[in-house]
């Protein structure tokens, strides 16, 4: 009976719900994700103690995002149906081809109680961030899309650190002669397309839609100095890590995506022809 109850709890956390969401303006790091209160407790000396106040986040996603062609560059908004670490050919809403690779960063803990202890049921993601590099095969213009999601159960303070509203200020890739850098873009290369609404741009006057209450929009980033930074010489040796910087100044932090050899090769295949 106990196992049945545990299985039901895990299954309910993994269920995807379709929701209708409304446009918001590009803004700050404010935390506006509905938190389902969850208390981690322990029993000691005949008494039950609250160890930590946590939040549980549902896997809600908009019907508009769920229905996007899985081969679209915008399909990244549906984090529950992604191809990770492989070189892909994708399309935009105008049916233009892109070479693409998508990577994942994640933080995890126990599936049931929000602690960091290993359980026989293994680990569950509590936070995930996704980073896609795309190259337009006609123009060779390169961009990066970054989004993230709060999942399962985690402490309130940690949830706020990983707020879906956090601004992505920079993406950096090590190079032999200099860093390959992406910075926020106004998204003009994609404006007018139906799914542009899922892009969070550098223009704070433009509205965007988060595909889920706990899932961020896609922050669109542009490549700085492609003529000098993505030359074959600068792509050697292959990068072992990609750094995504969030926020500004003292409030800023970063996420490090570690890459294996096949992932490095896929990334370089996208970057090598950037113009």
The answer for 46, left when phi > 0, alpha when psi is -120 to 50, beta otherwise, is left
User: How confident is the model over 117-136, as a mean pLDDT?
Assistant: 77
Q: Which has the minimum average pLDDT: 3-7, 57-61, 151-155, 183-187? A: 3-7
- Rounded to an integer, what distance in angstroms lies between the CA atom of residue 161 and that of residue 2? 34
8 A C-beta contact, residue 203 and residue 220 = no
**Whole-number pLDDT of residue 48:** 73
HSE-CB for 182 with a 13 A CA cutoff: 30
Residue 191 has pLDDT above 50, yes or no: yes
Please compute the mean of the pLDDT values over residues 209-228 and round it to a whole number.
Answer: 93
Question: Is the CB of residue 266 less than 8 Å from the CB of residue 101?
Answer: yes
| pLDDT reported for residue 110 | 62
What confidence score (pLDDT) does residue 28 get? 58
- Residue-wise pLDDT for 219-262, tens only, equals 999 999 888 888 888 887 666 789 999 987 777 899 999 999 89
pLDDT digits (tens, 9 = 90+) for 1-60: 333 333 233 333 334 455 555 666 655 567 888 888 877 677 778 887 766 778 888 788
C-alpha span between 208 and 169 (Å, rounded): 17
Beta strands in 46-163 (DSSP E): 47-57, 59-62, 88-91, 97-110, 123-136, 142-150, 152-155
Asked whether the beta carbons of 228 and 148 are under 8 A apart, the reply is no
Confidence grade of residue 112 (pLDDT, cut at 50, 70, 90)? low
**pLDDT for the residue numbered 188:** 96
Report the pLDDT value the prediction gives residue 138, as an integer from 0 to 100: 97
- The pLDDT of residue 29: 66
**Which residues in 146-155 are b (16+ Cβ under 10 Å) and which e?**
bbbbbbbbbb
**Which among 244, 8, 48, 234 is positioned nearest to 133, based on CA atoms?**
244
Average pLDDT over residues 65-89: 96
**How far apart (Å, rounded) are the C-alpha atoms in residues 270 and 142?**
8
Query: What is the distance between the alpha carbons of residues 13 and 56, in angstroms, rounded to a whole number?
Result: 9
Query: pTM of the prediction?
Result: 0.85
What's the rounded mean pLDDT across residues 87-108? Answer: 96
């Amino acid at each position: 009976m106990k196992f049945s109850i545990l299985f039901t709890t895990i299954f309910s956390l993994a269920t995807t719900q379709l929701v209708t969401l409304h446009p918001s303006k590009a803004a700050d790091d404010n935390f506006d994700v509905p938190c389902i209160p969850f208390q981690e407790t322990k029993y000691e000396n005949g008494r039950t103690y609250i160890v930590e106040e946590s939040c549980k986040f549902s896997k809600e996603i908009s019907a508009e995002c769920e229905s996007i062609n899985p081969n679209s560059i915008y399909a990244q908004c549906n984090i529950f149906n992604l191809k990770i670490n492989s070189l892909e050919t994708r399309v935009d809403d105008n049916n233009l081809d892109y070479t693409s690779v998508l990577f994942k960063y994640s933080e995890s803990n126990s599936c049931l109680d929000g602690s960091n202890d290993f359980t026989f049921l293994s680990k569950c993601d509590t936070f995930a961030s996704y980073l896609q590099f795309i190259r337009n095969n006609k123009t060779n213009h390169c961009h990066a899309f970054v989004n993230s999601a709060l999942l399962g159960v985690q402490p309130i303070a940690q949830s706020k650190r990983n707020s879906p509203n956090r601004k992505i200020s920079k993406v950096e890739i090590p190079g032999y002669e200099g860093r390959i850098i992406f910075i926020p873009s106004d998204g003009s290369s994609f404006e007018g397309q139906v799914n542009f609404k899922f892009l969070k741009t550098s223009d704070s006057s433009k509205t965007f839609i988060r595909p889920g209450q706990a899932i961020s929009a896609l922050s669109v980033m542009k490549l700085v100095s492609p003529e000098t930074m993505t030359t074959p010489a600068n792509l050697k040796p292959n990068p072992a890590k990609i750094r995504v910087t969030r926020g500004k100044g003292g409030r800023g932090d970063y996420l490090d995506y570690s890459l294996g050899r096949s992932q490095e090769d896929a990334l370089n295949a996208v970057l090598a022809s950037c113009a």
